A = this chain, B = another copy of it.
Amino acid sequence: MERGRGALGPALELVHTGRAPTRAVLTSELGVTRATAGAVAAELEALGLITVDSRPTASAGSQGRPSHRLFVNENGPVVLAAQIHADGFRVALVGLGGRIVATTSGCGTIPADPAVVLAEAVAAGSDLLRETGRRCLGAGLAVPSAVAEPDGEALNPLHLAWPSGAPVRALFLQALADAGIPGVTDAIGFTGNDVNLMALAEHRHGAGRGARDLLCVASGHRGVGGALVLDGRLHSGSSGLALEVGHLTVNPEGAPCHCGSRGCLDVEADPLAFLVAAGREPGPEVSLLRQAADLIRDEYADPGVRAAADLLVDRLGLGIAGLVNILNPDRIILGGLHRSLLEADPERLRAVVADRSLWGRSGGVPILPCSLDYNSLVGAAELAWQPVLDDPLVVLER
């Protein structure tokens, strides 16, 4: 009927990730004619996904007719994103462009039954949907553990007191169905490890934008997680268990690890390791990450704290160098404790990585702190948006 069907998804992704501010850019990025790009934009606008500002822009610079500007529709549909963490859960409605439209959280002890938490989170999301009146096109969930494919089971969710192997995806889908969230069918509901989702979010909307091979490393509470985005897609391995980087050996004389080895990244470079190295007694009141990050922020001048930070940076650098030798990414982003360590002394970590990775060439890879708030939450939303980005028509015409 109309022009521009095949290119609909790629075009939406370009606007979504902020890489197509105008129809002219869309034309070149998609490699189609202006006519087709115009038709694609018109179709996306008709679908309510993007808006076009055709007012004469006060354009500075180049000559020629100024472009109309393309925006994600700020009042368009949203997806429901939920994140479970050690201290509770957080739920958000996220629009295209990774914009958080509304968010709420629930705190307190996480019950041992994941179904209860997920039902609470979904109920909170349902409330948000009712309050805002937004149309919901999907839902995504972030959990702080590995998620095994193809069934979406949480493996070893250590700091949640959940049973290992809990079928979180099925439970999440059930909770969504029970809540009767309009627009979300059984087929749409995605689940992922929180570091994976941080990587996805940072790649689309944050410090990882434009990277082809993006490596993320983060430590939130206990242990160290990794994630890899290749050509814009999350690489989670054949069964979802890739980038379990916590058991790289970074200190042959180090502390024993439950994996049977010793000196693993997991036990040498997480918040607890940092607090212990700094000679602080970890308190139970706030999260280990918060305690560690506050210590770096407030007492970095203290020699003991500084020494502990340097030690952890050296260990972390060894682990990252190993990953650089294996994955050869073109950008690295750090989250959680590692972000704090990087920001406190960017040069030390870069030097260690460059020194221990095999070729100066790949050792010179940029290492950046993550740049988004709630990046796992936004990443969970990306999972939910993916079907829309793949083909806007089939999802919207339900």
- Name A residues whose Cβ lies closer than 8 Å to a Cβ of B: 146, 148, 155, 212-213, 226, 230, 235-245, 247-249, 252-253, 259-261, 263, 322-323, 325-330, 356, 358-359, 361-362, 365
Contacts and interface: CB of A to CB of B under 8 A. Distances in A.
B326 A240 contact: no
A252 B361 CA distance: 27
A155 B328 contact: no
A243 B325 CA distance: 6
A72 to B, nearest CB: 29
Mostly, the A contact residues are loop
B361 A242 contact: no
Contacts of A249: 249, 252
Nearest to A247: B325
Given A148-B361, A247-B325, A361-B148, A235 B230 contact: yes
B241 A213 contact: no
Given A245-B325, A249-B249, A328-B242, A155 B237 contact: no
Contacts of A358: 241, 244, 247, 259
A89 to B, nearest CB: 25
A269 B186 CA distance: 49
A323 B238 CA distance: 13
Contacts of A230: 230, 235
Given A155-B359, A247-B322, A252-B249, A330 B238 contact: yes
Contact of A245 (B236, B243, B245, B326): B326
A43 to B, nearest CB: 21
B148 A240 contact: no
A361 B263 CA distance: 24
